[in-house]
Structure 1
C-alpha cells in the first residue's frame, strides 16, 4: 500500500467548525483509505496526516466532505 502525506490547512475562522464536524462524524474515511498518524502545528492552523491507500482516487471522496473548512495538499511518499 502506498503512503501519502496529507497537509490540511484550515480556512480562516473555520477551525472550530472543522472540529465540531470531526467530533460529530469522525474522519469520515471511505473504505480503503487508512489513517496512520497525524501532527498539528503549534498554531493549530495546519494538520499533517500520514495515510495509506491503494486507490488514491479515494482522497477526492474524503476531501469533498471537508472542503468547506479545509484546503488540502496530498503528497505521495516514495
Structure 2
C-alpha cells in the first residue's frame, strides 16, 4: 500500500535532519520502501511517498525521526483504482 507522508520540520533544525540522514540514512525498517520525495521551498515540509504492507513499519520509522519532525500519514489509492470503484456506483 502507498502512503503520503508529510513531514513538518522546525526550520531551525533542517541542518540536524540532513546531518542525521547523511550519517545514518533513511532509517526505514526492512519492508518499508521509499518511493520518492519533494521538499517545500521554505524547508517547512517534506512530502514522501512510502510503500509497505504493514502500517507498524511506518510507526517504527516515525519513531526514528520524531525528535526532529512531526508526521502526517495519509493512505493512498491510485486514481485508476478509485475511478474503478466509483464506476460501480454510477
TM-score range, shorter chain: over 0.9
TM-score by length of 1: 0.94
The structure carrying a bigger helix percent of its residues is: 2
Show CA shifts across 1:15-50 (max 9, x none).
Answer: 111111001001011000000000011111100000
Count, aligned residues = 77
Larger RCO, structures 1/2 (Cα 8 Å, 6+ apart): 1
Runs of 4+ in 1 over 3 A off after TM superposition: none
Structure with the greater alpha carbon radius of gyration: 2
What is the CA–CA distance in structure 1 between the aligned matches of 2:68 and 2:46, rounded to whole Å? 13
Written as runs of structure 1 = structure 2, the 5 A alignment for 1:1-78 is 2-78=1-77
Gaps of 5+ in 2: 78-90
Question: Is the contact between residue 33 and residue 52 of structure 2 (CA under 8 Å) also seen in structure 1?
Answer: yes
Mean Cα displacement is larger for which, 21-30 or 8-17? 8-17
- Unpaired runs of at least 5, structure 1: none
SS at match of 1:63: helix
Query: CA shift at 1:72, angstroms?
Result: 0.3
Higher share in strand: 1
**TM-score, structure 2 as length reference:** 0.82
